[in-house]
Amino acid sequence: MKTIMVVDDEKDIRDSLSGVLSDEGYDVVTAGSSEDALRLIEGALPELVLLDIWLPGMDGTEALKHIKALYPLLPVIMISGHANIETAVKTTKLGAYDFIEKPLSLDKVVLTVQHALERKSLIEENRTLRQKELAKYGLVGGSESMQALKRDIERAAPSNGWVLITGENGTGKEYVARNIHLLSNRAAKPFIEVNCAAIPEELIESELFGHEKGAFTSAIAQKKGKFDLADKGTIFLDEIGDMSLKTQAKVLRILQEQTFERVGGVEQIKVDVRVIAATNKDLREQITRGAFREDLFYRLNVIPFHIPPLRERTADIPLFIEHFLKEFTAQTARGVMSVSEEVISLFLQYRWPGNVRELKNLVERLVIMTPGSVIKIDDIPSFMLAGKTASHGETGASNQQIDIFKSSLLKEARRDFEREFILRKLKEFGGNISKTAEAIGIERTHLHRKIRSYGLEV
């Protein structure tokens, strides 16, 4: 049962409100002064407070300030028999949910209480979802560079400043973008992601700006674009360095004016979006080559973030291992698993060309494929052992043996890479064999053979 507190110095009003709210199924506590109310709230937090303005001692406006300072999510409905517009505006600015004048309409009180509690429930639900999202996209790492990155995100997130995130593939640029959004004032609004590299040039305008019915042959209905969908929220332009110069010019216009026209339309549509862009390319070098617009770069690069590769923050590797082990053992119901010190040592020496994404994929594979509860050196893909084995060769193996073993490792590494590459491309094209074969430049029948050879599921 939800508890509502009624604060009024008139006993008749306290009794009247207690009666009607009790009939509605609420538990009611009452106080005759602000001081008593604050003491009661400290002991047991109610779901909502009905607070009179004119009270002996501390008045309701001062009590409202105290309540909102200590319990910002607690809804407070102000009541008064000497109200004016100025007072109503003042208390609303201080955080009151609503203002009701005396003599009270009990029906209006009940309705206002219901609406206030519904709003509180939605806020709490959004906060819970936000916490889940923050946990899902949590930034793992205790290295100095990651600690600095987290601090910078906390400082930049509440602003509306546009952000440019740079870093190699697999370093976690999307995670940084998600954290900026979730910690911003736009967290309850949409986060719209656009992979600029994955959208064909002839479709990107329609994807970004939408189109009107009949704009082209297949446009059978109006479609909202990504910028339209991101209104009041955040748009994440991933791999913006792969966007054509033609599209860059159109994106620059919308970034400058916050208005655009749908393809085939004439109406000017105004939006309010925060832009976060990301790239694995050196945009300054791209500008020098004429492949990226300098004015667009400076428009995006208001708040720059750079994510260092995993090989430059090896102190984070054990934390990532622990994090991914928990994640994948929970998903697979494998029970508790651990990694041997020899494997951790190897991981610390490995260069991780695929960065955190490569480490995550490897840990998932090891959780699934390792028969025991401890991941040992024998469970590790052989291509990661190449450097380790070469150094062991100096203690007695012949050069010919080492060369043969290296050749075997190289073949397996190539096979592993090809398998992962084909799998990634199949996912990118939704399992479509013809499109995947065309994209990677091999015959459809040849791709079928490789899929069967690697045991891939389509």
Q: For residues 155 and 435, what is the distance between their CA atoms, to the nearest angstrom?
A: 44
Cβ–Cβ < 8 Å for 309, 143: no
First-last CA distance in the chain: 52
Domain range 310-380, CATH architecture: Orthogonal Bundle (1.10)
Cβ–Cβ < 8 Å for 142, 313: no
Q: For residues 399 and 419, what is the distance between their CA atoms, to the nearest angstrom?
A: 30
Say how many CA atoms lie within 13 Å of 352 toward its Cβ.
27
Token digits of residue 432: 């479509």
Q: Give the pLDDT confidence of 60-115 residue by residue, as tens digits.
A: 999 999 999 999 999 999 998 776 778 888 898 999 999 998 888 999 999 999 99
User: Among 20-34, 88-102, 391-405, where is mean pLDDT lowest?
Assistant: 391-405
pLDDT at site 364: 93
pLDDT at site 83: 61
Cβ–Cβ < 8 Å for 28, 3: yes
Q: At what angle do helices 433-440 and 444-454 cross, to 10 degrees?
A: 100
Token digits of residue 438: 């065309």
Please enumerate in sequence order all residues whose Cβ is within 8 A of that of 426, keeping only pairs 6 or more positions apart, or say none: 436, 451, 456, 458
pLDDT at site 46: 96
Token digits of residue 305: 């973030």
DSSP state, 337? -
What's the CA dihedral at 288, 292, 294, 297 to 10 degrees?
Answer: -120
- Any bridge partners for residue 31, and if so which? 7
Q: Which helix (H) or strand (E) holds 195?
A: strand 191-195
pLDDT at site 409: 45
Please enumerate in sequence order all residues whose Cβ is within 8 A of that of 397, keeping only pairs 6 or more positions apart, or say none: 405
Mean pLDDT of the chain: 87
Cβ–Cβ < 8 Å for 289, 150: no
- Any bridge partners for residue 80, and if so which? 101
Which superfamily does CATH assign the domain made up of 385-458 to?
A: Homeodomain-like (1.10.10.60)
Fold designation for 141-308: Rossmann fold (3.40.50)
- Whether 415 shows a pLDDT value over 80: the answer reads no
Closest listed residue to residue 236, CA positions, set 196, 200, 209: 196
What's the CA dihedral at 450, 453, 455, 458 to 10 degrees?
Answer: 30
Using DSSP's 3-state secondary structure scheme, residue 193 falls into strand
10 Å Cβ neighbour count for 414?
11
Cβ–Cβ < 8 Å for 64, 7: no
DSSP letters for 94-133: TT-SEEEESSP-HHHHHHHHHHHHHHHHHHHHHHHHHHHH
- Whether 418 shows a pLDDT value over 80: the answer reads no
Mean pLDDT of 339-365: 93
pLDDT at site 399: 47
| Segments making up each domain of the chain, as ranges | 3-129, 141-308, 310-380, 385-458
Q: Give the pLDDT confidence of 192-249 residue by residue, as tens digits.
A: 999 988 888 778 888 888 888 888 877 788 889 999 999 999 999 999 999 889 889 8
Which superfamily does CATH assign the domain made up of 3-129 to?
A: Response regulator (3.40.50.2300)
With bands split at pLDDT 50, 70 and 90, how would you rate the model's confidence at 161? very high
Q: For residues 415 and 408, what is the distance between their CA atoms, to the nearest angstrom?
A: 11
With bands split at pLDDT 50, 70 and 90, how would you rate the model's confidence at 411? low
- Whether 391 shows a pLDDT value over 80: the answer reads no
Q: For residues 18 and 7, what is the distance between their CA atoms, to the nearest angstrom?
A: 11
Q: φ, ψ for residue 357 (rounded to 5)?
A: -60, -40
Q: Which residues of 119-128 are buried (b: 16+ CB within 10 A; e: fewer)?
A: ebeeeeeeee
Equal CATH topology for 3-129 and 141-308 = yes
Name the residue type at position 198. Answer: A
Please enumerate in sequence order all residues whose Cβ is within 8 A of that of 394, keeping only pairs 6 or more positions apart, or say none: none
Say how many CA atoms lie within 13 Å of 319 toward its Cβ.
12
Q: For residues 358 and 360, what is the distance between their CA atoms, to the nearest angstrom?
A: 5
Q: For residues 267 and 365, what is the distance between their CA atoms, to the nearest angstrom?
A: 51
- Whether 389 shows a pLDDT value over 70: the answer reads no
- Whether 397 shows a pLDDT value over 50: the answer reads no
Mode of pairing for the β-strands spanning 223-224 and 210-211: antiparallel
With bands split at pLDDT 50, 70 and 90, how would you rate the model's confidence at 413? low
Q: Give the pLDDT confidence of 276-335 residue by residue, as tens digits.
A: 999 999 999 999 999 999 999 999 999 999 999 999 999 999 999 999 999 999 888 888
pLDDT at site 417: 65
User: Among 38-42, 157-161, 172-176, 252-256, where is mean pLDDT lowest?
Assistant: 252-256
User: Among 11-20, 327-336, 401-410, where is mean pLDDT lowest?
Assistant: 401-410
Q: How far is CA 405 from CA 342, 344, 389, in A?
A: 21, 23, 9
10 Å Cβ neighbour count for 103?
7
pLDDT at site 405: 40
10 Å Cβ neighbour count for 333?
6
Q: For residues 55 and 9, what is the distance between their CA atoms, to the nearest angstrom?
A: 6
Q: How far is CA 378 from CA 44, 168, 322, 362, 383, in A?
A: 58, 30, 19, 14, 12
Token digits of residue 195: 């992979």
pLDDT at site 338: 92
